[in-house]
Amino acid sequence: MKQIVYFFLLSLLLVSCGGRSGYFKIDGRLLHINQGELYVYSPDGAIEGLDTIKIEGGRFTYEIPSQYNGTLIIVFPNFSTHAIFSEPGGSVEIKADASHLKEMEVKGTDDNELMTQFRQQVATASPPEQEKYAIQFVKDHPESPVSVFLTEKYLVAANGGSYKQAAELIALMLKEQPKNGSLNRLAMQITALQQGNKGKKMPKFTAKDVNGNMLTNANLLGKESYILTWSSWNEDSKDALNTLNTLYQKGYVKAISICLDPSYKEVKKYLTDNNITIPTICDGEMLESKLVKTLGLTSIPDNYKIVNGQITARRVTSNTLRQRLIKLDL
């Protein structure tokens, strides 16, 4: 009888210390948000497409089947994004103040607690300081999937990406995580970015814009053309969009924009309110969009400059676009 009680209590203890076998669970509590929705997607296939999480009474729960470690990106109502690292049988608890999401606390697994420490370290840091902290984190924890995420975010996807430094960190991580699929994909991506896209043909694509019109790469043939990603919550991307829109409206360039917001209806309103006439695609899949992956666009903002069907520049800045506008206006 004592043995039965012992095993029963042990089972309860094991359940309380983690999630169900083969699943990953998130329990969250948010201050200053009573009801609403969160979006969640995975850059490495932990889930397919875009999921919605309901907030009720400031709390939410989310559980997914989990057979391998993965990364989930949660998009909050203010459109800030935060990474959660899933693992089979794991569970985490999120505590956050909606007005101070940069200080969000995630407890329950080693990787998420490491990410919490980093998040709080860079909460008030400048972008150069954030990059410095990310580099040091990777050097200190080359075995962690958190390091893969931070390298991509702060050294690859950031404006003016530090590709040489990223390549060095990737080589360091590959020694510790040679079978990490996300890391191996990042290694291939950084090689392509270092080599540059100049001279390569723009990938072929077909997609409908927010008004139902069909767009293809043929829309960007001929004169100087651009295709760029943007979102309503990213000021740098909106700056690039507005400048490119002026070039487009004056007939200086051809252009297509891809909005990575989750709702195309809100995107249509934004375009109308701001007199954006560039043909715009929004499939609601955010950075998980198949089109974005086909084109090799990896961040917000991101862009190509195309001339006669060939890519001649990558990640053209807003200032460069403004200088181009001034030159053409002369």
> Do 19-117 and 206-329 have matching folds?
no
Note the pLDDT of residue 13. Answer: 44
Note the pLDDT of residue 280. Answer: 96
Note the pLDDT of residue 296. Answer: 80
Task: Show the low-confidence residues of the chain (pLDDT under 50).
Answer: 2, 4-17
Is it true that the peptide bond before 203 is cis, omega within 30 degrees of 0?
Answer: no
Give CA 278 to chain center in angstroms. Answer: 23
Considering the four listed CATH numbers 3.40.50.150, 3.40.640.10, 3.40.50.300, 3.40.30.10, the one that applies to the domain covering 206-329 is 3.40.30.10
Residue spans of the domains in the chain: they are 19-117, 125-195, 206-329
- pTM higher than 0.75 for the full model? no
- The pairing of beta strand 225-230 with beta strand 302-307: antiparallel
Name the percent of the chain lying above pLDDT 90. Answer: 55
Token pair listed for 291:
């089109």
74-90: buried (b, 16+ CB within 10 Å) or exposed (e) per residue?
bbbeeeebbbbbbbbbb
Tell me: the pLDDT tens digits for 200-226? 888 889 999 999 999 998 999 888 999
Q: Are 328 and 252 in contact (CB under 8 A)?
A: yes
Short-list 204, 209, 163, 202, CA closest to 186? 163
The number of C-alpha atoms within 13 Å of 36 and in the hemisphere containing its C-beta is 16
User: Does domain 19-117 sit in CATH 2.60.40?
Assistant: yes
310-327: buried (b, 16+ CB within 10 Å) or exposed (e) per residue?
ebbebbbbbeebeebbee
Distance CA 152, CA 285 (A): 19
